[in-house]
Amino acid sequence: MTDWNDVIIEQFRANDGVVERFGDSLVIMHTVGAKTGEPRIKPVMGIRQPDGSWNVAATYAGNDRNPPWYHNLLAHPEIDLEAVVDGHATTVPVRVTELEGAERDAAWSEFTAASEGFRSYEAKTDRVFPVLRLSPREQG
């Protein structure tokens, strides 16, 4: 984990899920390494959906390849997510699915509408950025 991620995670946890740069749209994914099986923690922007799920975009800041956490989520799609729910940070067990076609395109447009950063990533690569839906699941 980078120093930047450490600072963001600390702010999230200290401020009930609100981080200056992200407001309450930051989520912290607790993934498992696809190759190593080791636990990983990654803060990313998550856009809350009306059905209670979150969408996250695997942009890797416009890199030509997907971020490692994308592969981790596909390999181990049941994770815990720290997110703001009803105004408070909480941990939610979620299941990850990758969006495709028109559903992916509509979700991606929410990211580009929300931030110039996401629009700038499109100029850096020809890659189509995956969008993943993190849907609450029952704890078992």
Residue 93's Cβ-side half-sphere holds a number of Cα atoms within 13 Å equal to 6
pLDDT digit string (tens) for 105-125? 999 999 999 999 999 999 999
pLDDT digit string (tens) for 2-61? 688 999 999 999 999 999 888 889 999 999 999 999 999 999 999 999 999 999 999 999
Report pLDDT for 135: 98
The domains of the chain, with CATH numbers, are 3-136 (2.30.110.10)
End-to-end Cα separation, the chain, in angstroms: 29
CB 29, CB 41: distance < 8 Å = yes
Q: Phi and psi dihedrals of 41, rounded to 5?
A: -130, 130
